Amino acid sequence: MNNLKPSSPIGVFDSGMGGLTVLSELVSALPGEDFVYLGDTARVPYGSRSPATILRYSREVSHHLLQFNIKMLVIACNTVSAHAESILREELTCPVVGVIHPGARAVVSQSQSGRIGVIGTRSTIKSGAYEREIRKLNGDLSIFSRACPLLVPVVEEGWMDKKLTRQVLEEYLSEMVREEVDSLVLGCTHYPLLKKAIRDQYPELKLIDSSVETARAVAQELKTRSLLKQGPDSSNPATSKGSVRILLTDVTDHIESLERLFFRHPFQSLEEVHVEEIREV
């Protein structure tokens, strides 16, 4: 890690397009930084794969991103964070930040009642990763977890304001509300787009957005390691906007609508990189 340079880009990795919500928060928090995002859209979703396959895919994508001389890898995917983050942290030559620990840390510090809810995909919930991270920080908390597989397709259809979505949320969250949870971790990168819908139905719930918390963690980690990109005046952070480069392993007609849905910033380029190229690394 001695060769890491502040001027190098930050690599961001997701199994698909949902990680653009994390990238969006990163760009907002660190507007002067350069980013390279790789979405493995040809092999999405990872959540239906075995842990061994998830790790193999994650290694392939991560090592491909190393070719861009990244100074940090951000895993913008709960499934990969749950199954591969600890191994990638040991193997890669740059710091690695996932989305689970920042979300866990935030909910532990913000919950008043000590009764916490966690929602995510089947793979993330089955892994127990959020529960483990939360209990490392505070073993006395009560944690209620629920897999919510219908929420991803609802978001990708753009149905955040539909009656159907309200019914699905009620089905998934009503039991947690009866258990008097006061804080809810949005344990999937698609779920930040449902914050308004959840707040409208359950205004008493404090929502923990792992995308926002991850951006804060990345900013702090860069500062701690003296890796923040500097502007012309070395005493101040960069004031000019950095670049955003998007790489996808499969570009379809649906990609443009998903990009508009998940990402609220302009980016300079959208490129396709074939899975075979990633496997060759």
CB 74 within 8 A of CB 13: yes
Task: Select from 48, 105, 37, 49 the least CA-distant residue to 76.
Answer: 37
Active site residue 94: no
Phi, psi values for residue 147, rounded to 5°: -75, 135
Phi, psi values for residue 226, rounded to 5°: 55, 40
Tokens of 230: 């500097």
CB 40 within 8 A of CB 58: no
Enclosing H/E stretch for 54: helix 51-66
Active site residue 188: yes
**Cα dihedral 133, 134, 140, 141 in deg (nearest 10):** -150
Catalytic residue of the set 77, 100, 238, 246: 77
Where do we find the tokens 């505070």? 138
Catalytic residue of the set 94, 155, 188, 215: 188
Residues annotated as part of the active site: 77, 188
